[in-house]
A = this chain, B = another copy of it.
Amino acid sequence: MIKRIKIVVIGFGSIGRALAKVIALKRKTINNKYGILIDVVGVVDSKGMALKADGFDEYELLKLCEVPRSGVNLFKPYAYQGVDLDVLYNSTQPDVHIELTPSEYSSGEPGISNIIYAINRGVHVVTANKAPLVLKYREIMSSALSKGVEIRFRATVLGGTPFIDTLMSLRSHDIERIEGILNATSNFILTEMHEKLVDFNEALRMAQALGVAEANPTLDVDGVDAAAKMVIISNILEKPLKIEEIYRESISRVTLRDIIDAVRQGYIIKSITFFDVRGGKASIKIVKIPKSDLFAQINGIMNGVRIRSDATEIVFIGRGGGGIETAHSILDDVISIALHYS
C-alpha cells in the first residue's frame, strides 16, 4: 500500500530549492523503496505562495526552482500573493511542515510562530531553522507531545549527516562531554590560514568568494552559529543551555603569527565548541591541538563531533551543510515520520 505524504515548504532559498530538486529526482525511488509518495503541495517564501493540493509533479518542482528569489508568487497558475498559513493549510491539508526560514536568534521569528502554528494544526514539523529550537526547545517539544506530532531537526547540527539521531539513540549512555567543530565557515577559514599561510581577512575573502562565508560573516566567525548548535545538543541531552551562557572566542582574533607559531610547535589551531555535560557549561575556544589528533584531520568545510559517554567515545565527521546534503537530511526526517506514522 502506498502512503501519500503531503508536505509544505516554508522558506524557499538555497536549501528549499535543493530540497525541491532532490524530491523531484528521488520521489519515485523513495516510493519504490518505502511505499511513500512525497507530494509537495505548497511552497512559501517571504512574498507569496505556490499551492497545488494534489502535489507538484517532478517537472513543476524543477521549474519552481527557477523562479527568482522571493518569487514563488510568480509561479502561475499556482501563485498566491502574500503569505497566509490559514490559506496554505486549508487548501493543501499538509501532513508535514518543513520550516526553512532563516535562523534569527533575537526573536526566533518567523520560525517560532510557524512551527507553533503547524503543531496546533496537528501537523508534523521538520526544521532546518535552528532559532526556534535554540530559543523555545522545551515549549515546542511539549506542545508537540501534547498534540501527538513529531518535530525532527536532523538538518540543524552537522546538517549533512544524521548526527542528531545518532546522539539521541545513545539512550543507555550517560553522555559526559561533547566537543565539536560545528561551524563549517570558521573551519574553512582556519584551514585556509594554515594551508595558504594567509591572514584572517584574506582567508575570509576567499571563503566569501567561494560562497562558504556570507557577506556578513559574524554569526559564523564569532561563534554564534556553533553556540546555537550546542544549545540544541544541550537540550537533547536534557541539560539545556541558553545561547548567551556560552562563552565565545572569535576566530577573527587568530593572527597569521599564531598559526605559524603553532605549526612550528607541531600543533594546529582550531575553533572547538566544548560542552561539559555534567558541569552544564559550554564554551567556544580557539585551541592548539596536536597534529595527530583526529580533529586536526577535520579540515575545510568538514565538521566533526566527539561524544564521550560513561561507556564509550565516538567521533562523527561529515559535512556541516551544503544545499544537497541538508536537503537529504530533511528528506530523511520526512521519511522517518512517514514510516513512523504508517
**Residues of A at under 8 Å CB distance from B?**
22, 26, 29-30, 33-34, 160-162, 165-166, 169-174, 292-294, 297, 309, 311-319, 322, 324-325, 327-328, 331-332, 335-336
Contact = CB atoms under 8 A, between A and B. Distances in A.
Given A160-B311, A312-B322, 19 more contacts: A29-B174, A161-B312, A161-B314, A165-B166, A165-B169, A169-B336, A171-B335, A173-B328, A292-B297, A294-B317, A311-B325, A311-B328, A312-B324, A312-B328, A313-B318, A314-B316, A314-B317, A315-B315, A315-B317
B328 A318 contact: no
Contacts of A165: 165-166, 169
Nearest to A297: B294
Given A297-B294, A315-B317, A328-B311, A162 B172 contact: no
A325 B22 CA distance: 37
A34 B171 contact: yes
- Counting every copy of the chain, the complex holds 2
Given A312-B318, A317-B315, A328-B312, A170 B162 contact: yes
Q: Which 4 A-B residue pairs are closest in the complex by CB-CB distance?
A: A172-B331, A314-B318, A315-B317, A311-B328
Contact of A319 (B292, B313, B322): B313
Nearest to A30: B172
A45 B174 CA distance: 30
Contacts of A322: 312
A14 to B, nearest CB: 15
Contacts of A324: 311-312
Question: A-side binding surface: helix, strand, loop or mixed?
Answer: mixed
B325 A172 contact: no
Contacts of A34: 171
Contacts of A161: 312, 314
Nearest to A319: B312
A248 to B, nearest CB: 27
A15 to B, nearest CB: 13
Contact of A172 (B22, B169, B293, B294): B22
A325 to B, nearest CB: 4
Contacts of A327: 311
A335 to B, nearest CB: 5
A33 to B, nearest CB: 8
Contact of A315 (B313, B318, B331, B332): B318
Given A292-B297, A297-B297, A26 B315 contact: no
A294 to B, nearest CB: 5
A158 to B, nearest CB: 9
